[in-house]
């Protein structure tokens, strides 16, 4: 399912004295199967963009195309329910939204709300639980008796059980320990690969953006300021630093090494493996 | 040993401490003993559920151990001494939004002082002084929801500082912040530590942060698994990964170089040291 934001603008509390322009003239194309990372400071408009992806917010200017649905500014928009079924959003700290008596009831709530039968929803719950790496036994437990990491997984299972065609992740691993973080990120990546699931990751982690995404979009003050592949984006370090953004550690390391040794490696390397190979080769072949 | 640079006088001591939450089969802390020394920055690391946050709750008397004893500044921690101890030991929690009680920044900082019955004149001075220390003195009458996460945590630190503690505990105080906020908070605490010779206990799973501590304690399944300088701890390599933790970037990078036949002098090098080491290596060829 292709998604396309075309020149969208959004004003909070439009036509009131509190009106505030959050994003302006934002255009982003997300073809089926893309893994896109959305980067920017707190307040840059990332969350506002994110909420347009499943029509939680409707643009005050421009058009949002989601599959074969069009959401246009200043029009009566129908079929928003169908859109919301196709685009699943994992919000920050999604475990805060758990509310049911049992894990199973919590996971099937979404699908049943969209008209899936109870039996089918329960089947989906079982599958989703497996995908997030939890045992079936916890289906009957109260979500509030689980550890923080397990609660996070249950909340994610609730989104997966909707069988979305596009997954939007807002800082999905905040607060988890390194292993939990890696497990969750790897899980999303394999879902993305196996099902050609479009994935949009909102993150502060340049490491994750470099490792998983094939496209990176940088937002600043409500605008898209830069877009490209990780290598393209992280090749211009100074530009990112000027925007007050981080670069991946491996890129930072490459730059300080190049400076100290007074050399320039041919490319920007995004993994430790690639960079160490390039440097080792350089050192071995180093002229005296 | 890096530990020798400060006076090794114990300011907090845990002896054979065990703790179990109600309705849990297993002890959250199991026979834990260690000392925290005056003026040091101690990082306590461990996976989610390793018992590190339980430890913070015990140190601050939010929970009491079923077995063992905890001494803080020479006082045995129990239900009678807890108010005395909380003046000496301040805590900053994980979620910036859950620890704001005042409607303005200065009210929030004053809250703890009011609770301790500080006279008003003294209170005004202390509020201003502590907000200055965390560089939030321009925000006296701001409402908390206008602040960024990093700013909120700095106000929380000011609230703790106003009570003039000897020890500050950061309980994953930076884990919900963006990189900028994280930097702000850590810099603030570091400056305070140097200036006021505070003892800092940082409970974290950010190993880059732990790398800058004087000493690290690794928790696993409710027990102290290992204790040592960052260099000692990071030489554990893959063992850390198996404990659900990670290895700092410079170690991963050094390991990759070693695998490719580049000899490095030490196991643990900071990024800067590693760059210098490679420069030396090259000039020798």
Nearest to A272 among B94, B175, B256 (CB): B256
The Cα diameter of chain A in Å comes to 74
Round the average pLDDT of chain B to a whole number and report it. 88
| pLDDT score recorded for residue A288 | 41
**For chain B, how many residues are written?**
285
| pLDDT score recorded for residue B7 | 55
Q: Residue A251's pLDDT band (boundaries 50, 70, 90)? A: very high
Q: Residue A279's pLDDT band (boundaries 50, 70, 90)? A: very high
CA distance A189 to chain B (A): 20
Number of domains in chain B: 2
Distance CA B59, CA B217 (A): 15
Q: Are residues B206 and B285 in the same domain?
A: no
- What tokens does A275 get? 């960079």
A200 has a pLDDT exceeding 90: yes
Nearest to B262 among A148, A178, A283 (CB): A283
Do residue B175 and residue A174 have CB atoms under 8 angstroms apart?
Answer: yes
B2 has a pLDDT exceeding 70: no
The enclosing domain of B180 has a CATH number of 3.40.50.300
Q: Are residues B188 and B158 in the same domain?
A: yes
Are A25 and A15 spatial neighbours (Cβ–Cβ below 8 Å)? no
Do residue A178 and residue B48 have CB atoms under 8 angstroms apart?
Answer: no
Distance CA B274, CA B229 (A): 18
Q: Is the ipTM of this complex over 0.85?
A: no
Round the average pLDDT of chain A to a whole number and report it. 92
Are B166 and B11 spatial neighbours (Cβ–Cβ below 8 Å)? yes
Do residue A286 and residue B256 have CB atoms under 8 angstroms apart?
Answer: no
Do residue B179 and residue A246 have CB atoms under 8 angstroms apart?
Answer: yes
| pLDDT score recorded for residue B53 | 83
| A41, A177, A184, best to mutate vs chain B, most B CBs in 10 Å | A177
CA distance B280 to chain A (A): 10
Residues from chain A that touch B46, judged by Cβ atoms under 8 A, are 177
| pLDDT score recorded for residue A266 | 86
What value does the mean pLDDT take over residues A58-71? 94
Q: Are residues B74 and B15 in the same domain?
A: yes
Residues 6+ apart with CB under 8 A from A257: A279, B275, B278
| B43, B44, B48, best to mutate vs chain A, most A CBs in 10 Å | B48
Q: Are residues B172 and B126 in the same domain?
A: yes
| B241, B256, B276, best to mutate vs chain A, most A CBs in 10 Å | B256
**Full domain range(s) for residue B263:** 248-285
A250 touches chain B (CB under 8 A): yes
A275 touches chain B (CB under 8 A): yes
Distance CA B171, CA B202 (A): 6
Q: Residue B11's pLDDT band (boundaries 50, 70, 90)? A: very high
B228 has a pLDDT exceeding 50: yes
Distance CA A14, CA A27 (A): 21
Percent of chain A with pLDDT over 90: 75
Q: Are residues B95 and B122 in the same domain?
A: yes
Q: Are residues B83 and B200 in the same domain?
A: yes
B191 touches chain A (CB under 8 A): no
Q: Are residues B187 and B271 in the same domain?
A: no
Q: Are residues B130 and B224 in the same domain?
A: yes
| pLDDT score recorded for residue A270 | 95
Q: What is the pLDDT of residues B149-207, one digit of tens each?
A: 888 888 988 998 898 899 999 998 887 777 777 888 888 888 888 887 899 999 998 88
Do residue B245 and residue A179 have CB atoms under 8 angstroms apart?
Answer: yes
**Which DSSP string do the residues of A18-77 spell out, in sequence order?**
T-EEEEEEEEEEE-TT-EEEEE--TTSSHHHHHHHTTTSS--SEEEEEETTEEEETTS--
Residues from chain B that touch A283, judged by Cβ atoms under 8 A, are 262, 278, 281-282, 285
Q: Are residues B149 and B95 in the same domain?
A: yes
Q: Token match 């950061």: residue?
A: B170
Nearest to A280 among B179, B180, B261 (CB): B261
C-alpha dist (Å) from residue A71 to A11, A38, A64, A79: 16, 21, 5, 9
Nearest to A249 among B249, B256, B259 (CB): B249
**For chain A, how many residues are written?**
288
Do residue A260 and residue B279 have CB atoms under 8 angstroms apart?
Answer: yes
- What tokens does A242 get? 């000027």
- What tokens does B249 get? 């970037």
Q: Residue B1's pLDDT band (boundaries 50, 70, 90)? A: very low
Residues from chain B that touch A253, judged by Cβ atoms under 8 A, are 249-250, 253, 271, 274-275
A287 has a pLDDT exceeding 60: no
A246 touches chain B (CB under 8 A): yes
- Report the catalytic residues of B: 172
B44 has a pLDDT exceeding 90: yes
Distance CA A174, CA A92 (A): 8
Q: Are residues B60 and B175 in the same domain?
A: yes
């Amino acid at each position: 399912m292709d998604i396309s934001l075309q020149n969208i603008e959004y004003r909070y509390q439009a036509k009131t004295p509190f009106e505030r322009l959050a994003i302006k003239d934002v255009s982003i194309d997300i073809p089926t199967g893309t893994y896109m990372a959305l980067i920017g400071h707190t307040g840059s408009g990332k969350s506002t963009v994110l909420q347009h992806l499943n029509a939680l917010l409707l643009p005050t200017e421009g058009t949002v195309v989601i599959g074969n649905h069009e959401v246009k500014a200043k029009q009566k928009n129908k079929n928003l329910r169908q859109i919301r079924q196709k685009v699943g959003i994992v919000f920050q700290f999604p475990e805060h939204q758990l509310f049911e008596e049992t894990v199973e009831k919590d996971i099937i709530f979404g699908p049943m709300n969209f008209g899936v039968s109870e039996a089918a929803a329960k089947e989906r719950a079982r599958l989703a639980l497996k995908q997030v790496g939890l045992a079936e036994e916890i289906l009957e437990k109260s979500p509030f008796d689980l550890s923080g990491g397990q609660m996070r997984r249950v909340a994610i299972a609730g989104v997966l059980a909707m069988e979305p065609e596009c997954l939007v992740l807002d800082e999905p691993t905040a607060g988890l320990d390194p292993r939990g973080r890696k497990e969750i990120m790897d899980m999303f990546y394999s879902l993305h690969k196996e099902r050609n699931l479009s994935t949009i990751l909102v993150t502060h982690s340049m490491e994750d953006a470099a490792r998983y995404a094939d496209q990176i979009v940088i937002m600043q003050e409500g605008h898209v300021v830069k877009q490209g592949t990780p290598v393209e984006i992280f090749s211009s370090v100074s530009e990112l630093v000027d925007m007050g953004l981080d670069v991946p550690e491996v890129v930072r390391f490459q730059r300080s090494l190049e400076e100290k040794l007074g050399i320039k490696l041919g490319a920007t390397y995004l993994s430790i493996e690639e960079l160490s190979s390039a440097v080792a080769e350089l050192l071995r072949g180093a002229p005296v | 040993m890096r530990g020798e640079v400060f006076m090794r006088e114990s300011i907090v001591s845990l002896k054979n401490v065990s703790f179990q939450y109600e309705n849990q089969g297993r002890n959250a802390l199991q026979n834990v003993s260690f000392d925290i020394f005056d003026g040091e920055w101690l990082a306590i690391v461990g996976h989610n559920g390793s018992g590190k946050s339980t430890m913070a709750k015990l140190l601050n008397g939010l929970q009491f151990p079923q077995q063992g004893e905890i001494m803080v500044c020479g006082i045995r921690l129990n239900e009678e001494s807890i108010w005395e101890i909380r003046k000496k030991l301040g805590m900053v929690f994980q979620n910036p939004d859950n620890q704001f009680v005042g409607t303005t920044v200065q009210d929030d900082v004053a809250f703890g002082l009011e609770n301790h019955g500080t006279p008003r004149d003294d209170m005004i001075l202390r509020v201003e002084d502590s907000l200055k220390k965390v560089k939030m003195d321009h925000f006296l009458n701001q409402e908390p929801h206008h602040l960024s996460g990093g700013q909120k945590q700095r106000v929380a630190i000011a609230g703790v500082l106003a009570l003039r503690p000897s020890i500050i505990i950061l309980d994953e105080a930076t884990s919900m912040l963006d990189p900028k906020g994280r930097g702000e908070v850590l810099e603030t605490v570091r400056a305070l530590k140097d200036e006021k010779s505070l003892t800092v206990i940082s409970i974290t799973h950010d190993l880059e942060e732990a790398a800058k501590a004087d000493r690290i304690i690794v928790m696993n399944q409710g027990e102290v698994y290992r204790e040592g300088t960052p260099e000692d701890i990071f030489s554990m390599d893959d063992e850390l990964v198996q404990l659900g933790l990670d290895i700092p970037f410079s170690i991963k990078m050094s390991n990759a170089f070693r695998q490719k036949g580049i000899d490095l002098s030490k196991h643990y090098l900071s990024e800067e040291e590693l760059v210098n080491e490679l420069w030396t290596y090259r000039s020798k060829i």
